[in-house]
Amino acid sequence: MLNKFSVKGRMYLIIVAILALFVVMVFFAVQNGYKVRDLGVRKTGEVMLADQKAKLQVATHSMALTIGHAIEKIDDKGKKIEAVRTLVDDIRFESDSSGYYFVYEGTVNVALPPKKESQGKDLSETKDKNGVYLVRDLREKAQAGGGFVEYIWPKPGAADTPKLSYAEMIPGTQMWVGTGVYLDNIASYQASMEKDINAQVTANLITMLLIAGAIFAGIITLCLFIVFGLVGALKVMIGNFRDIAEGEGDLT
């Protein structure tokens, strides 16, 4: 098939092949760049979630031990409840103070600092918009030795937000304590990280394209130089052969 092409045509085919290779390389470089971005964002989210879980577990376990020790010698139930509320009422964490501890006996609330009107009430029917009965589920996790429950819950000053909570039993009592964090901070950090990675990936791709483009431009220039050189030399050679054939060439 290549015999149908002149030498010049064949060299042009090589140049076209080089350009096609360049386009393919650029395509895969861009695809891989964004795959790396997505992987980095996802892994960061997973690490942050694992960190939040570890923090919740340690904080809840520490508070369970603290409460258990503080009320172990109190016999009056009312005084126990008062002591529990005193311990957790003023504790807040997270940068927006959205973190707090809550205490239940079964599904009856004992302490709920941001919503004290619910204290003393059975909140077993409390559920989120997805139908998750969060108090029941947290009680079950606590009775099973401690565990996590994820649900949707109104965040002060914001809309309904995914929340992760951990609960475990208070030693020596029928009560359990829990705490949780809103997960929007992870989503916000992921969005910020994705923006930063996008900028870095774009900068790296531009640099790579400039370098690769310069290399390929050099190769193409060299190919064109060779093409025109060969074509010129062939024309001279063909002219000489023609002169010889016509008897005008110098054979010495």
The pLDDT, as a whole number, for residue 249 is 52
Question: Would you say residue 6 has pLDDT above 80?
Answer: no
Give the Cα separation of 8 and 12 in Å (integer). Answer: 6
In tens, the pLDDT along 143-157 reads 999 999 999 998 877
Beta-ladder partners of 167:
147, 178
The pLDDT, as a whole number, for residue 184 is 83
Q: What's the predicted TM-score (pTM) here?
A: 0.67
Question: Both tokens of residue 13?
Answer: 């085919």
Provide the strand spans (E) within 29-146: 101-105, 108-111
- Higher pLDDT among residues 124 and 234, named by residue: 124
Question: Both tokens of residue 168?
Answer: 């475990």
Mean pLDDT highest for which of 156-165, 191-200, 232-241?
Answer: 156-165
Residue 62 region by backbone torsions, left for phi larger than 0, else alpha for psi between -120 and 50, else beta: alpha
